[in-house]
Each structure stands twice: as structure tokens, then as C-alpha cells.
Structure 1
Amino acid sequence: MVPPPGPLLGAELAQVLREGRITHTLLPPAALATLPSDTPGTLPDLKTLTVGADACGAELVERWAPHHRLVNSYGPTEATVVATWSAPLEADGTAPPIGRRLPDTGTYILDARLRPVPDGVPGELWLSGPSLARGYLNRPGLTASRFTADPFGAPGTRMYRTGDLVRRDAHGELHYLGRTDHQLKLRGHRIEAGEVEAVLTRHPAVLDAVVTVREDEPDLPRLVAHLLVPPGAEPPAAAELRVLAARALPGPMVPSAYVVMERFPLTDNGKTDRAALPAPAADLAETAGHVAPRTPTEEVLADIWEEVMQAAVGVEDDYLLLGGDSLRALRIVSRANDAFGVSLTPRDVLVHRTVAALADLVEEQVLSELEDAARGDSDHDEL
């Protein structure tokens, strides 16, 4: 069956599968996630559903594996086109493996010096075999950087550098961990985007996650998570996601902003278009667990925090879980010192970590200065 021209997603995709009586299909996970939530089990002709071209999350397996033979495949275009695939998947709450290599395909997991890594250790996936392309048309430099001689194969054979991080488990199954070019750097910290995304997709309302470093304000980079939720589902609160991430990840890997979407932008070949993800909106709506300011000091400090953090801030919210850092702390204390005439330091923000605790410190400093003035000990006494 030849589908109609243009993007084929959502209810229209479900209609084509149903009316075309499709029995076998390969869909990118991002496209599969757009199907209405009641679609699994309503396609009686669909026997085998293969996902590929992008990472598949646990939630899609939970939705589709009970109703159809679901297979997770992997393979770049340069390997024309599938290099590994899994056995039929069963829902177990974890991201599915990408399986084992196909016949006549070589899979090597190597470190930066092209040495094989042990099972369980992440490494970059290289592919070999007769299915490899010859290279990139009229791009000899790029070809030389991605296609190299295969030191593990017969003389004259080549292998292809995929740029994908994987690990092999004790059963010989490969697990996709993310892209080497999606390794992020934020304030000196190296962050594996795939590791953060895997933690966020543990939330039952999150179908998929894409984590990037954005600099929507000059000199203020931050870690942002774009989340895919089922259409019509109640989106998780940002505070809830921060707690989930903070339980499993160190502070620098906890996203400071979350954007909930019903559909990710896609490239022409069906992969998530990271460059087209929208900037986070300045969300000042109250979230679960939000504690509003209770004193004039807390009100002023909360306004300063929200302006600097570009996010809703309750007076009991943890500064580090909000994505705070030393640079933002410097901006906060500069404005707070101007507002109250005190001498806070960035360390005060990083140590006290909440608006409420910082408000107590401000009031202590103001009271101390008033007491000094009353005793005649103030540096501002008239001569």
C-alpha cells in the first residue's frame, strides 16, 4: 500500500494501518507515539510491529507488546539499513534492547582507542559486513572519518563508526545508551543525555524525553528536558520530575526546565529534530508542593529567584533542584543586596538553598545592623 503524501501521524496513521489491513510495518518510535492511546489492540491485521530509526522507550513497549509482535530494530542508513534487532519484546518496565546482530553483520563495541570493551561496559558501536555503504558521495573527508579498515576482519574489509553508545549484557543483547555527539557539557560537567532521558522516562506519564543544553539567555546555559506525554494525559509537575531525577542523578544532571509536548518535531526521516525543539516558556504557575511567600522578605526574594531562574519558585524549593548554579547565585545576591542593603554572597544561596532560609538570613543581617546602630556601633554612624 502506498500511503498519501506528506507526514503520516496520529489518527491518520492509525486509519491507514486499519483500512490498509497492514500486517507488517516499521515505524519510528516518535511516530508510533502519536497514535491515539486506544489504538493498540484495535488493528487485527497487524501481526508484526517493528520500531526503529530512533530509541524506543519502555512505555511504548508497555502499550504495544501485549497486543502485537513487537520488535526493536537498529541500524544506520550507512549499514543499509538494519544491523540488529531484538526478539519479540515483553513489557518489563525498562527500555528494550536493540538485540543481536543480523547474519553477515559485524558489531564491535570499542573504546576511544579502538579496543573492545568488556560486557556491561559502555562503548561506541562499530559495524562491519557486506551491507556497508561505500561512503558518502563526493565527500572523501567524511568518508575517511567514518569508514576505516577493520582490524578484526579479513584483509581489505572495513568497519563503520556509528557514533552510538551501547553496552552488551550478559545474554549478548545490545542496549542503546545514546549518541556520542549528544554528550553534553554544562559548566564543566560532561553529561550523557541518554542517561538523563532514561531516568525521566521512568515516570509513568512520560513516553519519551529529549535532554539538551540551551542558552536562551546570554551566558546562562541550562539543562532542559522536552517530554512527550500521551494526548490528553495529565502532564507531570516539574517539581515531581526534579525529585525523580535528583534521586538517581547528581545535581548537574538534573534538568532545570521541563517542556511537555504531545508531539516531538521530526526530521524528514522520522527522527526527533532536536534543533527544532521549542524554548521553555517562563512558567510561573504553581506546581504540586508549591509554598507561596508568607512574609514581605520572602515575597521580594521569590520575585528575584523567579526572574533569575525563569521558573516557578516556592519558598521551600531547593535551589540546586531548580537547576541553580554559582552564576545564577551571583545574580540573585546582587539583586537581593540592592533590595535589602545587606551583604549576601553566592555561597549563602548555595548553602541555604531555599527562599525561606535565605529570607531568615536577610532578616538576621538587617536586625544585626539595626542593633549595631542602636548601640552606636554601626559603621554608618554620623561623626
Structure 2
Amino acid sequence: MSTQPQDCSGGYTVPVWLAAAARAALIHLRGEPCTRTQPLWLDPTALAAGAQPQPVPVEAVAPLADGWVLAMACCDPGSDVLDITRGLRLWVQLRWGEGPGDWLALRAGEGVGVVQASGDPCLSAYARQLLEINLRPLVPQGRRLELQVVIPEGRRLAERTSNAAFGVVDGLALIGTQAEVQRSAGPDPLAQALAELRARCSAPGFGGDLVLVIGENGLDLAPRLGLPAGLLLKAGNWLGPLLVAAAEAGVRRLLLFGYQGKLIKLAGGIFHTHHHLADGRAEVLTALAALGGLDGEALQALYDAPTVETALAELALRDGSRAQQLRQSIAAAVEERSRRYLARYGQEAMAAGAVLFDRSRQICAQGPVGLELLTALRDPA
């Protein structure tokens, strides 16, 4: 493998580093010289559009026993991004497959998240597309590949994510919907969301209603629950400025729709929700539980639980009605804190409601305003 230094920028999501390492291993498997950068098409439509591949660095490639080739890439989300993937080593083991089957058999090794219900690797559609366009043209007709992915630190780092809340266990998910990392803690996504918000509100026929969806899971779930796609606006972590901007732009009714473990921060007055900047979820949860009459060991168990989801699930096993009461208290507190936040900026006229869903992607709580808005905004069909 060439050791010449290469000028390659970071700023890429995990699927890009996976594809780079897998391609390097495949080049070695083919018996061809392997360099420190791999030319990757990062857009599934790039080949048809005639675009040029982009150089993505890899750190090592080496042969192993039994026909395996090992390759490693070091994830780099970009110099100005706060992300747990910074410096993350991603290993792939690749060899020719035996017998019939699909051209690629992908297995999750240590530290790679799997879907709990099926045991399959948690891999985004974009990640599969990158492997398809960058590897498949290099696989000879009639041959197939076995690919195993290993993330040595994945199991530990997964504890700092919400993977388990959505049924992904044992490690980090290989997800990402585009090549570049979205800087959700920085101002760029806020500017983009504000621009889209203002365009929506100034469009002919705008009726004054908006659903602010927190996260990809919410964006996928909302239409299934009957919320019209035309009302949905994906929010990053800058929820406070978006609330105020929505009111200023003429939104009269706004529904906050998101995962309970994320929206609970608003119940504590935290309106920038990136985990690097603010957390406080355990404190908010236990404060609301104490106000509802919970005390002693049960209250301590809530505080000690690793996630909001776990805390509420364990409480439900002991006292289902109290757990549901607490969930409703969270939703009501989100609405009340949002009302206060808007009032601080002179925007009391906009009604803000909250609807929360859980790890099973079922609605688990709704505030009084949220219940009214959910009923009113759902498509009758």
C-alpha cells in the first residue's frame, strides 16, 4: 500500500468511511495496488450524471488467513463538528464468498449495531447504495463477497446514543442519509431550517399550521399517523429560535412531534437540545416525578436509569398508571415551557402543542394542546 501523504478532507458520515475501507480491501483482494485514498462516488446518481469520484482516505490494508483482507478507515466528521464518530476506527474484513447468493453478504461484527427484532446489521439505505455503486462494478461476474464490519469502540459509544431507544443494540448503527455530516449543533442547519420555514409560510395557500418534527424517526413516523407531509418541517437542535421564527412568520398552530427522550429537555427549559451542549434529562424527569408524588427508592431508580426510556419502562412495570401520568406530565411541561419561551419574545398568540412517541414508535403522551392539534391536523383519509 502506498504511504504517500494525500490531501483529503474529512466531514463525512460513517457510510462513506465504510465504503472507503471496503473498496480498499476489495482492491487488495483483486491483487491490485492499493493507495491511501480511495476514489468514491458519494452520490448514488453521480455515475449517471457524469460526476467525478472523490478521494477518501483509508489507514491500512493487510491480508489475513483464510482469504480474508482487513482494511481500516478512521472516521472524521469535520473539524468544526461535535460528533462521537471523531477518530472512530472502522474495520472491514472482506473475502470472496462461496456458493450461490447475493453479490454481497454483510455481517455485523463486534461493535456494530443490529436491529434487535431481526439480528440484521443496522444499515441505512444510503450506506447500501454506496457499497453498491463503489464495490459491485469491481466484483467479477459470478463472484460474490463476504463483508464483516467491526467497530472496536462501537459497543461503548452506543451507550451515548439513542440507538437502543429505536431497537438497535450491541453497537453503533451504520447510518447516514448523505455523504456530508449535518452540523446539527451549529448554525448552518438552523439557517437552512429558517429559510425553509419562511418559504413555507410565505407560499400561497399557507394556512397557518406547522408540524415541527424532531429527528429522522419522527419524520418517518408522522405521515404514518396521518399528519400531512406538507405540514412537516424537520428541526435540528435549535428548537427555541425555530419556535419564535414560526410565530413571527405567521404560524398560528404548531405541533412539536418527537421522541420522548429528546423533547423532555424542553420540559426543563432547554431549547437547544444537542447533547454536547445540554442534557439534564434525568433531573427533569425526577423533578416532574417528585411533583407528581413519587419519592424514595422509586424516585432514585428514575434518576439512576441510563435513559429516559428505561426509566419510564421500569416505572411502568411497577406502576403503569403512574408511569403514564408522568409521561403526560412531560408533554404538558413541554407545552408550558414552550408557551413561556414564546412569551419571552412577545409571541403568545401561537398555540404550541406536544406529542411524544416512544422506542416502539408509538405515541406515548400528548399535552392538552398537542391532543387538540393532532386531532385537527390529521388527514381524514
Query: TM-score by structure 2 length?
Result: 0.29
* Higher alpha-carbon Rg: 1
Which structure has the higher relative contact order (CA within 8 Å, separation 6+)? 2
Using the size of structure 1 for normalisation, the TM-score is 0.29
Which structure's residues are more often helix, by fraction?
Answer: 2
